[in-house]
Structure 1
Amino acid sequence: MTLPPVPTNASNVAGIDTAVPAPSQNPELDRPAPGPQLQDRLAGWVSDLTTLHELTDRLVRTTSVAEALDEVLRAGAALVGARRGMVVLEAADGPGTTVGLGLSHGDLGRIETVPRAATACGRVLDALAAAPAGSAVPAGCQPDLFADPHLDPRHREVATALGYAAAYAVPLAAGDERLGAVAWLYDEPAEPGERARHLTGLYCDAAAHHLARTAAQDRALDFAAALREELLPSRLPRVSGVQLAARHRTGPRGGGDWYDALPLPEGALGLAVGSVTGSGPGAVAAMGRLRASLRAYAVMEGEDPVAVLSDLELLLRLTEPARSATALFAYVEPGTRRCVVAGAGHVPPMIIGERRAEFVETTVSAPLGMLSCWEAPSVIAEPASGETLLLCTDGLLRRTGEPVDRAYARLHTAAASVPRAARHDPGAVCDHILRSLLPDGTDAVDSDEDVVLLAARFR
C-alpha cells in the first residue's frame, strides 16, 4: 500500500498555526512576583483574619451572658488598644445591664451620672433607639475629651476623677434587635485606626448575634426554672412518725425530674419521684401535668400504687403520646412503717440504717408510655425505726458518667458509708450521697440530667 506524501508545510498538520506562539511549560513562572506592598497587605489581611477567628472562637465558647460580656470587653480592648471599658445592655421589659472592665461598681455609677448624650456610649445608645429597624448605626468616638470646648461639665469632672481622656463606642445590634453598646476608655487622647475600627466592627457584629442567642437561652432557662419551682412542692408536709427531706438540682437546659410528698387519708403518706423525657419548657410542662395527675390518683386509690401508676400511664399515653416517663410511688403507713412500692422503669428505692444499706427489690418494668398497657406487681418494704427510705431519679446515676452497674455500686457504697452522726437527719443523708457520687458538685459535671433525692426517716 502506498502512503500519501507528507506535506512540506508541517504547520498545517492537525491545524497547527505557527503564527500562534507555543505556551510555556509553567505559566505561573512567567507572572511577575507581587510587589512588597501587596505582600505586606496580604500578610496584614491574613493576620487580621487569624486574630478575628481566634477572638470569635473564644467568644462562642462562652455559655452565659455574663461570660460573653466579659469576653467582648477584653477582646475589644485588645483590638482598639484600650485598658478599660464598659458595656451597656438595654432591656425593653426591665432594667438593663452594665458591666465594666477595669472599672468598679462605683466607677460605673459615676459614669451613669453623666448626661447620656454627653458620652460616646450614650450617643450610640440614643442613635440605636432613634434609628429605623435594620439600619446601621455608626460608632461613636471622642478622641480628646478635654480638647472639646463643648464637653459637659459633669463629664469633665468624672473623666478627671477616673483618669480617662478619650472614648470609642460601638453599637451592639443583631439584625432588628438592638441590644446596647460597648465603649472603651483611653488614659490619654487617642482613637483606633481604620484597620482596628474595621476589625472591631466585625467582631462586635458577631458578638451581638452571640449575645442575642445566649440571652434568649438564659431567659428560657430562667423561665423553666421558675416554672419548675412553682410546680414542685414549696415545702414538705409534716407527718407524725416520719421526717422528710428532698434535694433537687436542675440540669443546664432544664429537665422534667420531679418529686412529691403528700398526706393521704387515714394518716398515710404518699411519696413519689419521676422523670419525663426531654428538656426545656415542654418537659417542665409535661412534668407538672403528670405530677398533678398523680396527686389526684394517689388521693383516690393511693393504697394501691399499681393502680395509681396504671392510671398515670393511661393519661400519659392519651395526652403525651410522644413522651415516656419513669415513676415510682410508695404508699407509706407511718405507724406500722409499712411501705407499698410500685415502680415503672425507675431506680429502686433504698433502705439505709445502722446495720444495712440495700435496694428494695422492685419488679423490673418498662417506663410509662412504652407499652400498650402497663402493669407490674408492687412490693412491700418495712424499714425499722431509725432507718431511712431513699428515693432518687436516674439522673443521679447518669451524672456520675459511669456505666449503669458501676453507678449502682457507687450509690450503694455511698449509702453504706453515711456517717453514724448523720443518719438521724434525712437531709444529711441526701447531702452525703450527693458529695460521694458527685464530689465536684452537681454543676461541675457536663450533663443535662436533673438530680432528685427524696428521703423519709422513720422514728
Structure 2
Amino acid sequence: MLDIPSRVRVHVETLPAAQNDMGVRDAFQHNAPARKPDAMTAPHPAKVAGIDPTVPTPAHTVAPVSPAPDAGPVPGTAPAAPAVTVPHAPAPGTLLQDRLAGWVSDLTTLQELTERLCRTTGLDAALEELLRAGAALVGARRGLVVLEPGDGPGPRTTLGLGLGRADIGHLETVPHGPLHTTLDGESVRADLFAEDGLDPRHREVATRLGYAACYALPLTSEPGSGLGTAVWFYDEPAAPDEHHRHLIGLYVRHAAAHLALLLEVERTRAYAATITEELLPSRLPRVPGVQLAVRHRTGPRGGGDWYDALPLPDAALGLSVGSVTGSGPGAVAAMGRLRASLRAYAVMEGEDPVAVLSDLELLLRLTEPARSATALFAYCEPALRKITLAGAGHSPPLIVGERRTEFAETSVSAPLGMLACWEAPSLEFHAEPGETLLLYTDGLLHRTGEAMDRAFARLHAAAASVPRALRGDPGALADHVLRTVLPDGLDPGDAGEDPEDVVLLAARFD
C-alpha cells in the first residue's frame, strides 16, 4: 500500500503536466493498450515494458539565466573575467512535491479504474474491464484471462483482449505456458526466445501469435483461494518495472474480490435456473394430430412461471400455463407444488377445465393462503380440433392461422387465491387445420416495457406477421413472435436484470 501522511498538503498548481507525469492515467483514457504509454513517475526509467519516454526528464531546478550579449569592454575599464556557470541547487521541497504528485496521480488512476470495474454487473463485462485496465497499467497491447475457480463449481470461461478464438485455442495447448500460473505469485517472462529450455510448443505459438514477452498474475480473492489467471502479452521483449507491477498488483487484488462476488451471484442464478428447469417438463409429449413447441426463460432470481403438456385419456391433451406471485426459491417451490397438483386434477377431471381450476384454487387457499397465482388450462381433442379452456386471472391465448389472428376471449376472472370461492365459465371453440394456439405468461408482455394494451397489440401484430413458410413449424412460429415482440428474444446474455420469467407454448393442429 502507498503510505502517504494525512497531514501533508501538496501544492502542485505550478507543476507542469510533464512533472506530474500521469502517463498511466492518460494511457488508459486514450485506450493506450494499442500504443506504448509513458512512464508513470519521475525520474523516467530506461525502456521498460516496451515503453519509450516521449517527454524528456524535467530538470528540478530554476531555469538558468542567459548571459547578456557581449557588448565589449567598457572604455577605461579592465576586461571582465570569463563567466563561470554555477549549477543551481534544487529548491527545497521540489523533489518531495514531485514524489507526492506522482502518488496522487497513481491513487487517482487506481480509483478511476476500480470504480469502472465495480460498475460492471456481469462476469464477462468485469473480465473485459480487467483486461483493458491491466493492459494500460503494464503497457501491453493484448491480454487473456482464464476464470477457473479452484473450489470446483463453475462457471469457467476464457476471455481475450486483441485475441481471436483460434489464438486462445493455441495458447491453451502450450504445456506449462502463460496460462498455467500458480497461486504463488506473478510470472515475468521478459524475453521468451532468450530463455533456456523454452518448450518448443511455446516457441511455436509465440512465433505464430507474434508476442515475445508476457506478464501473468493469479486472481486470488483470499489466501489459498484461486479464481484463475490474467496474462498480458508484449510484441517485443519487455517487462513492467517494479512501480507498475505494484500498481497492477493492487488493482488485481480489488478485481479478484469483485469477481468473487459476481461469481457467487452467477452460481446462485444458475442453481435457481436448474431447479426451475427440473420442475418443468424435460420434453413435450407426442400426441397424434398436434405439434408442440415451447420457449422458456427463467428470470435471474428464479420465478414461478410454469407450463405443461399432459397426455390424457381418450387421446386428449391437456395444456396449461400459469404463474405464482413472487420470485426466488419460495416461488419456485410453490410453482412446483401447484403444477404437480394441476396434473393430478387434469387426469381425474380434465374434460372440465373449470373443475380443474376450482380444485386448484381450493388447494392454494387451504395450504398457502399468503400466495396467489394465475393459471390457464385447455382440454384439447386433436381428432376433432376442439378446445375447451378456462382461465383464472390469466392472459387469453392467441389463435394464429391463415384466415385469422385473434385472441380467444376468456371471461374476466380474479387470480387463484383472491376470492373465497372461485368459478368462471369455460370457453369452447374449434381450430381450423393448420392453426396454432399460443399460450403464454404475463412475463412476455411485461418484458416489452410498454403498457398492457400496447403490449397486447404488439403481440398480436407479431403473430399476424409470421411468414407463411414458418406457419407449419410451431417452433419457428414461436421464435418469430419472440424476436418481434422482445428486442433481445430470449438470449440469456441480454436478459440483464429483468426479473420476469417468459413462457410461450405453441400447439399446431393438423
TM class by shorter chain equals 0.7 to 0.9
**CA displacement 1:237-288 (0-9 Å, x = unmatched):** 2333333332223444443322111111222221100122334454434333
State which of 214, 221, 224 in structure 2 corresponds to 1:174: 221
Cα offset, 1:437, TM superposition: 1.7
Aligned partner (choices 214, 221, 234) of residue 269 of structure 2: 221
- Asked whether the 8 Å contact 1:165–1:185 carries over to 2, the reply is yes
Name the aligned partner's letter for residue 432 of structure 2. Answer: S
- CA contact 1:305–1:378 (8 Å) conserved in 2: no
Count of matched residue pairs: 414
Distance 2:316 2:169 in 1: 57
Identical amino acids, percent of aligned pairs: 66
1:278 is aligned to 2:319: no
Structure 1 CA distance, aligned partners of 2:409 and 2:167?
63
SS of residue in 2 equivalent to 1:351: strand
| Residue 88 (structure 1) aligns with | 146
Q: Does 1:415 align with 2:470?
A: no
Relative distance call for 1:57 and 1:266 in structure 2 (3 A) is: same
Q: 1:146 to 1:200 in 2, by over 3 A?
A: same
Question: 1:325: Cα distance to partner?
Answer: 2.3
Amino acid of the structure 1 residue aligned with 2:115: D
Q: What is aligned with 2:312?
A: 264
Aligned to 1:125: 182
Distance 1:367 1:70, change over 3 A: same
Partner of 2:341: 293
- How far does residue 167 in structure 1 lie from its aligned partner after superposition? 3.4
> Which shifted more, 226-235 or 32-41?
32-41
- 2:119 paired with 1:68: no
Cα distance, 1:153–1:458 mapped onto 2, change above 3 Å? closer
Change (3 A) 1:418 1:376: farther
- In the alignment, is residue 235 of structure 1 matched against residue 235 of structure 2? no
Taking a change above 3 Å as real, the CA distance of residues 297 and 67 of structure 1, as seen in their structure-2 partners, is same
Correspondence for 1:20: none
Q: How does 1:136-155 map to 2 (within 5 A)?
A: 138-145=185-192, 152=198, 154=200
> TM-score if structure 2 supplies the norm length?
0.70
Q: In structure 2, how many angstroms separate the alpha carbons of the residues matched to 1:33 and 1:229? A: 62
| Equivalent residue, structure 2, for 1:457 | 508
**Shift of the alpha carbon at 1:32?**
11
Kept in 2, the 8 Å contact 1:383–1:389? The answer is: no
Q: Supply the distance in 1 between the matched residues of 2:169 and 2:483 (Cα, whole angstroms).
A: 41
Contact 1:357 1:416 in 2 (8 A): yes
Query: Which residue of 374, 377, 395 maps to 1:329?
Result: 377
Q: Does 1:363 align with 2:420?
A: no
Query: What CA distance in whole angstroms lies between the structure 2 residues aligned with 1:356 and 1:114?
Result: 61
- RMSD, matched Cα: 3.4
Where does residue 245 of structure 1 map in the other structure? Answer: 293
Q: CA deviation at 1:164?
A: 4.2
- Per-residue CA deviation, residues 121-143 of structure 1 (Å, 9 max, x unaligned), is 64x5152xxxxxxxxxx434344
CA deviation string 1:378-415 (max 9, x = no partner): 32221242333321111111111111121122223333
Q: Which has the higher helix share?
A: 1
Match of 2:86? none
Give me the whole-angstrom Cα distance separating, in 2, the residues matched to 1:416 and 1:165: 59
The CA distance in 2 between the partners of 1:381 and 1:298, in whole Å, is: 17
For structure 1, list consecutive stretches of 5 or more residues without a partner in the other structure: 1-30, 128-137
The residue correspondences of 1:75-114 to structure 2 (distance < 5 A) are 75-91=133-149, 92-93=151-152, 97-103=157-163
Partner Cα distance (2:216, 2:148) in 1: 15
Deviation, 1:374, is 4.6
- Matched-pair contact (CA < 8 Å) for 1:351–1:383: no
The answer to whether the aligner puts 1:395 opposite 2:443 as a matched pair is yes
Question: Of 229, 233, 247, which aligns to 1:185?
Answer: 233
Give the equivalent residue in structure 2 for 1:376: 423
Q: For 1:85-135, what per-residue CA distance to the aligned partner results, in whole angstroms no more than 9, with x for missing partners?
A: 33333344379654444455665566556664xx6764x5152xxxxxxxx
CA displacement at 1:425 relative to structure 2: 4.2
Shift of 1:328: 0.8
Q: Quickly say closer, same or farther: Cα 1:403–1:79, change in 2 above 3 A.
A: same
Letter in 1 for 2:276: R
Q: 1:25 matched to which residue of 2?
A: none
What CA distance in whole angstroms lies between the structure 2 residues aligned with 1:107 and 1:249? 33
For 2:500 and 2:259, the matched residues in 1 are separated by 25
CA shift digits 1:405-437 (9 cap, x unpaired): 211222233334444554444334433432332
Quickly say closer, same or farther: Cα 1:55–1:374, change in 2 above 3 A: farther
Distance 1:428 1:157 in 2: 49
> Take 2:473 and 2:10, find their aligned partners in 1: how far apart are those partners?
85
1 CA distance for matches of 2:99 and 2:129?
28
The 2-side partners of 1:84 and 1:381 are apart by 64
Match of 2:247?
199
Unaligned runs of at least 5 residues, structure 2 = 1-8, 13-92
* 1:449 maps to amino acid: E
